[in-house]
Amino acid sequence: MGKMTLEDLKKLREEKRRDLQMRDTENKNIQIIVGMGTSGIAAGAKQTLDAFLDELSDQNLTNVAVKQTGSLGLDHAEPTVEVIMPDMPRVIYGRVDAEVARKIVRKHIIGKALLNGHIFDRPAADIVQGKSGKTEA
């Protein structure tokens, strides 16, 4: 790149900012947690993860952190994804392929409505010790 003007600088900043925002965990109040256990990966959790990142960047959402975790315990419904955000119940979605992932971003995160047909309960309270087991849903 050659000498920059003020405009060039602003443009470059906008361009590069998105990359860094993905890294920043502050100011992110929404979390998407993808279950990346062996069964999750086998069922395509990687593609799901890619789809989330893609869609978030398409929709220009910067306050969402996409995290990975181990199995959420719902192996019959892999890939599974937990979505945590203000004003919405904590929800675990199952059978989330790339297409459903995009829907979750559009409907749940932007539209603030639950996505039918993919909500799965959390594991029963007596299995998860120390947690209330409440789904709040």
Partner 1 sequence: MAFKQYILVCGGTGCESSNSGNLFKNLIREAEEAGVREDVQIVKTGCFGFCERGPIAKVLPDEAFYVDVKPEDAQEIISEHVVKGRAVERLLYKESESKEHARIDEISFYQKQFRVVLRNCGFINPESIDEYIARDGYAALGKVLSEMKPEDVIEELKAAGLRGRGGAGFPTWMKWNFTRQVESDVRYIVCNADEGDPGAYMDRSVLEGDPHTVLEAMTIAGYTIGAAQGYIYIRAEYPLAIERLKLAIAQAKEYGLLGEKILGSDFSFDIEIRLGAGAFVCGEETALLASIEGERGMPKPRPPFPSVKGLWGKPTVINNVETWANIPVIISRGSEWFARIGTETSKGTKVFALTGKINNSGLIEVPMGTSLRDIVYNIGGGIANGKKFKAVQTGGPSGGVITSDFLDTPIDYEHLQELGSIMGSGGMIVMDEDDCIVDVAKYYLGFTVDESCGKCAPCRVGGRKLYNILDRISRGQGSMEDIERIQTIGFSMQRASLCGLGQTAPNPVLSSYKYFQDEYLAHINEKRCPAGSCKELVTYHILPDKCIGCTLCARRCPVNAITGERKQTHVIDQDSCIKCGECYEVCKFSAVVRA
Residue 4's nearest CA partner among 12, 19, 18, 17 is 12
Q: How far is the CB of 134 from partner 1 (least distance, A)?
A: 22
Secondary structure of residue 35 in the 3-state scheme: strand
In angstroms, what CA-CA distances link 47 with 52, 75, 124?
A: 9, 17, 28
Binding residues for partner 1, rule: CB under 8 A, are 1-6, 9-10, 12-13, 16-20, 22-25, 28, 34-38, 41, 49-50, 53-54, 57, 65-70
Going edge to edge, which strands form the sheet with 64-69? 64-69, 30-35, 81-84, 91-93, 119-120
For partner 1, the closer of residues 12 and 110 by Cβ is 12
For partner 1, the closer of residues 58 and 121 by Cβ is 58
Q: How far is the CB of 137 from partner 1 (least distance, A)?
A: 24
For partner 1, the closer of residues 2 and 86 by Cβ is 2
For partner 1, the closer of residues 49 and 74 by Cβ is 49
Q: How far is the CB of 123 from partner 1 (least distance, A)?
A: 18
Q: How far is the CB of 51 from partner 1 (least distance, A)?
A: 11
Bridge partners of 35, per DSSP, are 69
